[in-house]
Amino acid sequence: MSTQGASVSHKLKAMPEQNADRPKAARTAPIPQSSAARAPFVFRTDGLTKLYGGKGTAVVRALDGVDLDLPHGEIVVLLGPSGSGKSTLLNILGGLDHATSGKAWFQDHEITAMTDRQLTLYRRDHVGFVFQFYNLVPSLTARENVALVTDVAHDPMPVAEALALVGLKDRLDHFPAQMSGGEQQRVAIARAIAKRPAVLLCDEPTGALDSKTGLSVLNALKQVNDAFGTAVLVITHNANIQRMAHRVIRFQDGKVVDVALNETRLPPEDIEW
Ligand SMILES: Nc1ncnc2c1ncn2[C@@H]1O[C@H](COP(=O)(O)OP(=O)(O)OP(=O)(O)O)[C@@H](O)[C@H]1O
């Protein structure tokens, strides 16, 4: 098992009772961003299936046997009609939801075999989430919103560094109400990446934004991917965004119907909205 895998296993097995009184550096271990021996993929799924309903209501096959292999370090855009299963996949990969059958792995670790406690640790230590609505605390500044995460993370990056990375070094002491939607979303991205997660899962991160602010958010995602090799999965209804991706996955009726690699990628500023 890789060094990275071993450190993750260690954490996933950690019991909260055992850890409660230890300094935080002792109860979690850092995940190296670059480890030659780690699993060749960041996520893998095998026959991943999610059913909703039943017991008198119609069964919805939200995911219907999804097989995927996502290498490290890519920006992956997930496209598909409403209801095709994109969010369901992201939620299972992020440890927010359980599959009905099939398997999913994060590196060497089977997500679908994790206990709830292990899923909590996995989410806390390895996954950054960005949603359409930014979920910032209105009474806290940008710096303080990000510090909510860095205060409890193992080996976080400095708050100012996280905010500078998303182009907000001059907004550290602004409150959410003093920032544009794009700036608020970039604070949310800074908050998500400040704990140095291995993956950033983004569900419609530009869905509430106009083109100018939306492009600034895409730039921030690209910055994170370029700077740290963080795998970035982006669900979007804006098909133009696929131009910045390494890999584009299309969903239809809970199935993956196409996976395409972009030979050339556009920088966000060249994407037509
Ligand atoms: N909690 C739930 N209970 C019942 N059905 C659900 C639930 N969550 C999702 N579904 C159904 O599962 C299917 C897939 O939903 P999902 O949200 O993954 O699609 P999506 O591609 O992300 O859609 P959108 O682009 O509109 O967000 C849909 O038919 C949806 O109605």
The yes-or-no verdict on residue 173 having pLDDT over 60 is: yes
Structural domain includes residue 124: yes
Residue 106 main-chain phi, psi, to 5 deg: -110, 115
Domain CATH number, residue 214: 3.40.50.300
C-beta separation of 138 from 174 below 8 A: no
Q: Is residue 184 part of a domain?
A: yes
> What mean pLDDT comes out for the span 131-140?
94
pLDDT higher than 70, residue 3: no
Report the separation in Å between the CA atom of 165 and the middle of ligand 1, taken as the mean of its atom positions.
33
Which pLDDT tens digit goes with each residue over 97-109? 999 999 999 999 9
Q: What pLDDT, on a 0 to 100 scale, did the predictor assign at position 102? A: 98
Residue nearest to atom 5 of ligand 1 (CA): 52
Per the listing, tokens 């999804």 go with 66
Distance 52 CA to ligand 1 centre (A): 9
Our answer on whether the CB atom of 82 is closer than 6 Å to any ligand 1 atom is: yes
- Residue 76 above 50 pLDDT? yes
What average pLDDT does range 115-140 have in this prediction? 93
**C-alpha of residue 61 to centroid of ligand 1, in Å:** 9
Pocket test for ligand 1, best of 48, 51, 88, 249 (most atoms within 8 A of CB): 88
Per-residue pLDDT tens digits for 200-252:
999 999 998 888 889 988 999 999 999 999 999 999 999 999 999 999 999 99
> What is the predicted pLDDT for the residue at 249?
98
Candidate of 87, 131, 257 to mutate for ligand 1, largest count of ligand atoms within 8 Å of Cβ: 87
Which range (88-92, 168-172, 206-210, 265-269) has the least confidence? 206-210
Model confidence at 54, pLDDT cuts 50, 70, 90, reads confident
pTM comes to: 0.86
- Residue 234 C-beta-side C-alpha neighbours within 13 Å: 31
Phi, psi of 205 (to 5 degrees): -65, -20
- pLDDT category of residue 36 using cuts at 50, 70 and 90: very low
Q: Among positive and negative, which fits the CA dihedral 67, 72, 74, 75?
A: positive
Q: How far apart are CA 195 and CA 35, in angstroms?
A: 18
Please indicate whether residue 84, judged by its CB atom, sits closer than 6 Å to ligand 1: yes
Closest C-alpha residue for ligand 1 atom 12: 62
How do beta strands 101-106 and 109-110 pair?
antiparallel
* ipTM of model over 0.85: yes
Residue 113 lies in a domain: yes
Residue 13 lies in a domain: no
pLDDT value of position 37: 43
Query: Which atom of ligand 1 is the closest one to the Cα of 87?
Result: 22
- Of the candidates 250, 251, 260, which has an alpha carbon nearest to the alpha carbon of residue 83? 251
Tokens of 271: 């994407």
Q: Specify the number of domains making up the chain.
A: 1
Q: Is the CB of 62 under 6 A from ligand 1?
A: yes
- 74 lies in some domain: yes
Ligand 1 pocket member 88 (CB < 6 A): yes
Question: In percent, how much of the chain has pLDDT > 70?
Answer: 86
Lowest mean pLDDT among 20-24, 149-153, 169-173, 183-187: 20-24
Q: Is residue 18 part of a domain?
A: no
> Per the structure block, which two tokens stand in for 215?
């492009």
Residue 7 lies in a domain: no
- Average pLDDT of the segment spanning 124-150: 95
Q: Label residues 183-221 b or e (16+ Cβ within 10 Å = b).
A: bbbbbbbbbbbbbbbbbbbbbbbbebbeeebbbbbbbbb
Structural domain for 88, as ranges: 41-270
* 31 domain residue, yes or no: no
- Measured distance CA(247)–CA(71) in Å, rounded: 10
Average pLDDT over residues 113-132: 93
